[in-house]
Amino acid sequence: MNIEKRIYRYFINDNSNNPLVIIFPGGGFSFVARKGEGSSVAKEFNKYGYNVIIYDYLVKDSFINTITSVNELFLYLLRNKDKNNININNGVILVGLSAGAYTLLSYFKDKNNILINNKNIDTKGILLGYPLISIKNDLTHKGSKDFILKGINNYNDDDNNINRLYSLEEYYDDINNIFNIINIPIFIYSFKDDPLVSVYNSRIFNELLTKYKSNKYKYIEYEGSYHGVGSAFNTPAQDRIKEAIDFLND
């Protein structure tokens, strides 16, 4: 896989000294919405002095391939730090939107992943927008669930073994699992009447962060029926990037 072709840079005058944001857009695992969702968010971060990478993670054949492609991105960043105007020395902010949030949080499940075990990449914060968390039928997005569970037959909501592996509110309801992320500042936002991914995904993840006493987190639930809003202009969430940056820098 050619990683270079999957990295879309939104840099400020190619200045490598700017802090770095990496965006994992949504798309329901049928595509990656790097234009409609990613680019507008990237330009907002640019306004506040951040360089941005939008990552077109792999959504082909299986979810294992998706996670592998995420790992390959971070390997690439390590190998090319201080090159191609990529600066990870000051840490990175990770942004996961909808299915991209599920992808990002699933990557943290691997206790051997680069973000946990390599001190050359410091995760300064995580921003989750209208995140997909659950694979349970009344909470999930069907197309996403079908891709995540591809090859797993006869799943039902009472299948505890599968839920513990793939339904993140189940997996992270364990101090040994959530420990990987509760020391990272996390900002979550969602819309009360989201028509595609139930707001309860955000609520249950926020409850887990409260239960396990995350060091620093914030959850904002905006009014409205929106999903995949990009810049969120003229919605109640239009200032959420500034709110997130203020929170992470506080």
What's the pLDDT at 115? 77
Burial (Cβ within 10 Å: 0-12, 13-18, ≥19) of residue 95: buried
Q: Does residue 26 have a pLDDT over 90?
A: yes
Q: Which string of DSSP letters, residue by residue, matches 5-38?
A: GGEEEE-STT-TTS-EEEEE--SBTTB--IIIII
Average pLDDT over residues 156-167: 80
Find the DSSP H helices in the chain: 40-47, 63-79, 99-107, 114-117, 142-148, 160-166, 168-171, 175-178, 200-211, 240-249
**β-bridge pairing 20-24 and 51-55:** parallel
Partners of 28 in the beta sheet?
31
Q: Is the dihedral of CA 144, 150, 156, 157 positive or negative?
A: negative
Read off the tokens for 173. Answer: 């309801």
What's the pLDDT at 15? 64
pLDDT band at 160 (very low <50, low <70, confident <90, very high): confident
| Domain annotation for the chain: domains and CATH numbers | 3-249 (3.40.50.1820)
Is this prediction's pTM over 0.85?
Answer: yes
Q: Give the least confident one: 68-72, 110-114, 216-220.
A: 110-114
Give residue-wise pLDDT tens across range 189-240: 999 999 999 999 999 999 999 999 998 999 999 999 988 887 787 888 899 9
Q: Does residue 88 have a pLDDT over 90?
A: no
**β-bridge pairing 123-129 and 92-97:** parallel
Read off the tokens for 191. Answer: 């819309």
d(CA 218, CA 206): 8
Q: Does residue 122 have a pLDDT over 90?
A: no
